[in-house]
Amino acid sequence: QVQLVQSGAEVKKPGSSVTVSCKSSGGTFNTFAIGWVRQAPGQGLEWIGGIIPILYAPNYAEKFHGRVTIRADESSRTAYLELRSLRSDDTAVYYCARGGRELATTHYFASWGQGSLVTVSS
Amino acid sequence: DIQMTQSPSSLSASLGDRVTITCQASQHIRDQLHWYRHKPGHAPDLLIYDASNLQSGVPSRFSGSGSGTDFTFTISSLQSEDIATYYCQQNYDLPLTFGGGTKVEIK
């Protein structure tokens, strides 16, 4: 049984950066994608990007290119999302989620973290 | 990017009713279409993967069908725990994209 546990809520100033962590337990970590999805207040789900830890190379949605870094630490089974130059419209719940197929860059999300609320406010 | 269009955006139904949601892709995506239930304050749950496969542990009242560009999701008998927003998602190509969601409420 795969379990993903995310870091807690954050309040950030516009222009600053935030890092959200996602620790995985159970199952294989290295060969399944960890993706990041967010939900802004009153909005739907939006894919930010993802990484397959053993392959090292992350993929990002174009709208976040240059502002986001996704990485994974195999030794601690933890994935990280860093978002820079924060704006008020980055206020959202950020979820990590594990892909459902081994070594698949594109995938469905079989297991989800509990979500981390990031609030951007001056 | 592949656009996913869900309809309706919301619906109201009685307990025990059959509920149907559709999802249309802007291009052919084979069967690379998945369905989630998202309850407020919780993480989304995968219900159906690859258009018609029931995720392990998910009740059999949920089903999906379709291929290509047009897909359907059905709840055969609406239960109180099904009050949520439902999303489709494609993984045919990056970026992964979701439909706009369908909010299901009790009449």
Which residues of chain A are modeled with pLDDT < 50?
none
Q: What is the pLDDT of residue A54?
A: 94
- Pairing mode of beta strands A78-83, A109-112: unpaired
Q: Please tell me the predicted confidence (pLDDT) of residue B31.
A: 97
For the stretch A27-61, pLDDT in tens is 999 999 999 999 999 999 999 999 999 998 899 99
**Residue-wise pLDDT tens digits, B57-82:** 999 999 999 999 999 999 999 999 99
Sheet architecture: strand order including B70-75: B4-7, B19-25, B70-75, B62-67
Q: Round to whole Å and give the CA distance between A3 and A69.
A: 23
Amino acid identity, residue B103? K
How many alpha carbons lie under 13 Å from residue A95 in its C-beta half-sphere? 24
Question: What pLDDT was estimated at residue B18?
Answer: 98
Looking at residue A48, its pLDDT comes to 98
Handedness of CA A100, A10, A47, B31 (dihedral sign): positive
Q: Does B99 touch chain A (CB under 8 A)?
A: yes
- Chain B residues in contact with A97 by the CB 8 A cut-off are 43-44
List chain B residues with pLDDT less than 70: none
Best residue of A93, A98, A109, A117 to probe chain B, by most B CBs closer than 10 Å: A109
- B95:A115 CB<8 A: no
